[in-house]
Structure 1
C-alpha cells in the first residue's frame, strides 16, 4: 500500500515511481497493490486514474484503493469510473471506500459544493448508492433508442464481479457492523477508535469479529488488516538509520488515544523479517485474518521501497507462511 508521494515541482516523477513500484510488486509475486487517496496534498488525488494506468502495465496483480473518501465523490460518476477500470484490468479492481465529511470541510466546502455545502449527506447513504450502481440496479426509467444512440438504464460498462470486490474502510465498531450487514469486504487499517479498549490489537480484533458476526458469510467474510512493516534484512546502514529515526518520531502517538476521536495508531514494526514475523504471530488481530496489506512509509525514497518490498516478498512473506504467486 502506497501514498504515491510526489514533488510539487515534478509530479510526473512521483506518479511514475508509484507505477514502477506496482510493476515491481507483480514481478515479486504480491497478490495485490493498494494506493491511498489524498486530496490537496502531495499524494495520489486520483487513484482510479493511477490504477487505470497500472492496469495496462500489469497482467495479474489485483489493484485496490485504500480508501476513496466518498464525501468528495458523486457515487454515480464514481461507479462509471470504477467499472471502466475493472473492465480494463480484466476484473482485478478492489475499490475501498469510506464515509464522513471531507477533511477541512469548512475550508474546502465552497469549492467542492458551492450550492449545496450545508445540505450534503456524508453518511452511509453514499455507499448504498455506490453499491446499487455497481451492482447494476437501474439509475433511470429511460432505456432505448433515441435517434441513432442507444441508452441504458444502468451504469455502463457493467462489470458483474465488481460489487463483490468493494471494500469498506472503517475504524469503529459501528463501521465494522455496518460493513458486515451490507455484505461488503472490510479494511481495518493502522488507525482505529479506542471505544472499549486502549490496546490496538484488541481493538482491531473486536472490529474483525463484529464485522464477521454481522456478515452473511460469517467467518469466511474477507477482512484485510493494514499495518506498517519495515524489514531491514537487506537495508544499508544508512537506510536502517533513516528507518529507525522515522519509527522513533511516530512511536509516541501509539501509546495513548489521540484527539477528541480517541484514535489509536498501530506501532510501526521494524527489524529483520524474523523479528517482525514473531511480532505478527503474537498480534491478536493478525492471527484472525488471512489477508494483510503492508503500508509503505509515506516519506521514503524509491530505492527504499524497492528494498522493503523485496524483503517482504523474499523473506518476511515466507516467514509468515506466504509464497509469491
Structure 2
C-alpha cells in the first residue's frame, strides 16, 4: 500500500545560554518541511529540559510562517495541564492556522512527579486525576460540550462552551499510546492514534508484532474501523546525500541506542524500535517488511534528538525526495 501522508517529528533542542536560536531552528525546520512538501510537522514536549516546553506556543508561531503543512504535538502530557485552559489554547492556534492543528496527548502522572508535585500542584497534588478521564474532559471541551451557564452580565456576553470554538478540531485529536489499553481507549473515544518507537511488551517481545496488535486493537474499537487514522513514528535517518562524516555520526548514534532494543526494559517492560539508518532504498525495504508499518497509511518519522541543524536539513531533504517516493508517497500538488 502506498504511503499517503508523510510527516516528521522534532524535539526542538536548544542551548540554555541561547534558547532563541534553538527555537528559531525548529521553526526553520518546519518551514523547510513545508517547502519540501511534507504533509505534517510534529513537535515533542519536554518539561524542565532543554527542549520544547510549550509546543502550543511554538506551533502558534509556526502557523504564521507556513500555510499548508499540518502542525501536531507528539505528545502533550496532560498531567501537566489544565484541560480547560489547554482547550482554549488549542482552539486558538487551530483558528490561527486555518484548521491545521493536530494535537496529540497522553495521560499519566507527570514525569518525576515526586520532585515537581509541590511546584506544579502545591495544594491539590493528592487529588489530581491522571487517568483517561483527563483526556475525556479535554475532548469534551474541544468538541464544544457546554461547561457553564451562558448569559449577559452588563455589557459582557458569556459563552457556555470554550471559546474560540473550532468545529473541526475535535476530529483531529490524537492519543499517543504504547499499550493495548491505550489503543482500545483511544478507539472507543473516536480519537486518532499515534504509535511511536516505544511500546509496552504485553503479548510479545517482537516490537513490530506488538505495534501491529496495538493498531488493530485501536481500529477494532473505533467507530471508523479500518478508516480510523493511525500514524507511525519510528526514528528514520536516510543517508543518501549525507557526507561521510555525517554517516559516521548517524551510525554511531544508532549503535549506542541499539542495546536497549534487544529486550523489554524496566518494570514496565518497554520495547524500543531500532533506529533505521542507511540508504533510502534499504530503509524502504525494512519498512515494507515491518508488521507495524504495514498497517498504516501515514507516518511522522522522528528526527534524532541531538543532531545539528544542517543534519536535519539533509535528513528531511532525503526523506522527502528519496525515501518518501520509495514508499509510494507523492507530494500534493
Q: TM-score range by the shorter chain?
A: over 0.9
Partner secondary structure for residue 150 of structure 1: strand
Q: In the TM superposition, what are the counterparts of 1:175-324 in structure 2 within 5 Å?
A: 175-324=182-331
Q: 2:160 is matched with which residue?
A: 153
Q: 1:73 is matched with which residue?
A: 81
Q: Of 10, 26, 40, which residue of structure 1 is paired with 2:34?
A: 26
Partner secondary structure for residue 48 of structure 1: helix
Aligned equivalents of 1:287 and 1:136: distance in 2?
35
Residues 134-188 of structure 1: per-residue CA shift (max 9 Å, x gap): 01111112x1221111110100000000000000011000000000011100001
Aligned equivalents of 1:20 and 1:149: distance in 2?
41
Q: How many angstroms does 1:38 deviate by?
A: 0.4
How many aligned positions are there?
Answer: 324
Q: Of 55, 66, 70, which residue of structure 2 is paired with 1:58?
A: 66
- The yes-or-no answer on 1:108 pairing with 2:119 is no
Q: 2:14 is matched with which residue?
A: 6
Gaps of 5+ in 2: 1-8
Q: Of 38, 49, 54, which residue of structure 1 is paired with 2:46?
A: 38
Aligned equivalents of 1:252 and 1:200: distance in 2?
14
Task: Name the structure, 1 or 2, with higher relative contact order (CA <8 Å, separation 6+).
Answer: 2
Aligned equivalents of 2:194 and 2:207: distance in 1?
15
Q: How many angstroms does 1:323 deviate by?
A: 1.3
Aligned equivalents of 2:126 and 2:152: distance in 1?
39
Residues 51-84 of structure 1: per-residue CA shift (max 9 Å, x gap): 0000000000000000000000000000000000
Gaps of 5+ in 1: none
TM-score by length of structure 1 reads: 0.99
Q: 1:48 is matched with which residue?
A: 56
Partner secondary structure for residue 300 of structure 2: strand
Aligned equivalents of 1:319 and 1:51: distance in 2?
29
Please report the RMSD computed on the Cα atoms of aligned residues, expressed in angstroms. 0.5
Aligned equivalents of 2:302 and 2:66: distance in 1?
20
Q: 1:93 is matched with which residue?
A: 101
Q: 1:129 is matched with which residue?
A: 137
Partner secondary structure for residue 152 of structure 2: strand
Partner secondary structure for residue 153 of structure 1: coil
